[in-house]
Structure 1
């Protein structure tokens, strides 16, 4: 069995579904079910005995100790995190509690579990920490992409909290010998993406006839990674990664936000045209940029290709089409996640 934390969120749920589609090894799934954690993401596993779900917090040491002792997982994959930059600006304390304190308590529980394993199991055990390219800060337009050796320069409460968690994971390896792996990924997109992030927000707002809010000039550049490619990368790192190493995971798709929005609009024009015949791009609205908005991220993913043989299967063109089609085919999922709290958040964030 493996333990997945945060396995009801966007990337975590995709990973759990992907794992059980290709393996009979059970998953113990621990998720706090905050705003972005949604069991509806895992509805396909409702009657699957290989999926054991527990609602709980990675900051709950007693719960962690009990689960680890009862289920004795051979590996832990840690997705559990507060992950939205805008939310971290409005309320940074939740990010410190989950991403820093929670990671610390998870590491300590796992270290206790790992140290008591028989030697063969202790040697084979892995703790894989899923992180972000945002810990590296921002890049100038012509600067080389982030490599694993790039200095950490986080610029938001979110990225600072993730940087802290990365440092804790590294320290637990070098101090205690815990066999850890860290992945730093670029912007994910795909099915089950909570609709406050750029791509699902644009799709949902476009179909609802609402404005498509773009921060500033929209020329912030990101590298885009289809979520199921990210899942395959994590599987590969878990399988063959060298303990103590960090692997950057990217999609080789650097694009400015405004280009992403126009691409989504063109696909919607093709797949679900507006009744009045106009393009969805007519709904684009520029709003005040957020504080400390990083201008460019880019991932150098050559290490994971060179050492582990992994490359993304999807281009941005194939991945974004699959994503738009998924949202068009799953209106019930969109309706289910759009709670009153979500609508209040979007109104608060983009009212200006």
Structure 2
């Protein structure tokens, strides 16, 4: 594996023999209580055995993450998820529609020993998903249990979408690290709560509101269930430089995240010159990091349409800006 992301062997078929050896080492590291850098289709995760409080505590220490923020348990398939969480017909319908993929379902915990209290932030619910990346699924299948894997950045920083960025953030804390190439989605998973009452959207993501509502009908807002989702801190995904959103143009000494046609410039990073929201989502965190490395006075971000994937992009940008535009 290479820090430059080359020759990763990422595909949808059989893994190469050297990749199989990496998967086996990663599974063994998890079983021994170690941390693993894990590629997913959304962002790189910092993985640990979800049932091991000491391993989960090591994630919090490595990230500097507040203990009240719950973690997502990643599993290899729907059958495993349904043994850990109590899925009703709505949850199962969502899982069948969007798994493997970037959707996290919050449901009542059915097997508390499988995802420890620390990983659930003391809640009686569990956040769970089946990731879409073949390497992640291979590790989960080899390990045989749920793995909590929050984004591999230090807490509050932009999530890493390349192996190099992930390794630079928390790689020194890991017993194994898997390079799966650049993340194809580039935004954390959508999170929904399937509890009593209507399905609630806790965090927008790559699976859009319209896609969800096509399966389960109109969504309710988070309200009191927001605490059950990761990524809900007011200041989150933040680079070192201040972030100014909905900017029509950058000021002097600002870097600029453009969207749509915009002239090239020394500190201009165009999320999508064609105005493609999927491209913008995939580029968001890596471009925030790249802009931050220019040591600007601030990072200005062009307006992003608040529709489809734009809802998730704007959610991340508002948090990166501390809700201050």
Return the TM-score normalized by structure 2: 0.25
State which structure, 1 or 2, has the greater radius of gyration over its C-alpha atoms.
Answer: 1
Higher relative contact order (CA 8 A, sep 6+): 2
Structure with more of its chain in helix, by fraction: 1
Q: What TM-score, normalized by structure 1, do the two folds share?
A: 0.23
